[in-house]
Structure 1
Amino acid sequence: MRLIGRPIKHSAFTLIEMVISMAILILTSQLLVATVGVLQKAIKVTQQQQNTINWHISTIQLDQFLADAYFTHHQDQDGSKITFRKPDTNQSGEEAETVYYLKRMKNEMVVVSQLDGYMPLLGNLKQLQLDYQ
């Protein structure tokens, strides 16, 4: 096309420029995919380490909490529970015994008292099987 004797130039990408830009785009996306893969592996390892740390902390907490408790085995309609009794003092200052048991609530393992108070021990559980030995 000519406008008053001059040719009109249309600026556009050439085929070589398009191929180069596609190559750059593919390389960038490959780097991004590789980075996401490495990050997912790092997150998985970190979560496993955190779960191990949580397991150790909960074991220490339970050991300290149960230092003077004694265990019994209890069977009820929900199945077998690990029950323990701990010497305690009631509100009037008299010696009493509080009954606790280990239980799964949602996705946590907790220590539950007879008054329905509870102390979370482990989280993110998929399955929990308790055994008294």
Structure 2
Amino acid sequence: MGINGRLKSFVNDLGLELIFTDMNRSGIYFSESKTIFLSTKLLEKNSDFEISHELGHCIKKHEELSAYYFASESNRRKIEFEANKIAIEILLFIWSNEYDVEKEQLNAVKFMEYYKIPWNLEGYVRESMKKFG
């Protein structure tokens, strides 16, 4: 499955490189090299959520919070959730523009299944859809 063209544009507009490599995690953003590394395992499925998640880390400059991130599991979860929220916002923008979807036609289940968004984020997806448009 290919990477969405608008998402590729976001990556390029931020001056980032996107590299698929063999690794034990889905993805990671390295600010020093302005690179998003993704697992090659994602090549067979829609990797747009993982790319958007790593873009979230870049946009929020989470690299500046590394001491906070590693200080506790609670802090790590907060930062990861913030990246997930940004990923959902990016993908909602793409979804609504790619498919010319009206706000009333947004379907959380289809959206989450298409982008392989973890189900623990369903509440935020639905909340975001209400505000969207």
Please, what TM-score do these two structures have when normalized by structure 1? 0.32
Q: More helix by proportion, 1 or 2?
A: 2
Higher relative contact order (CA 8 A, sep 6+): 2
Q: More strand by proportion, 1 or 2?
A: 1
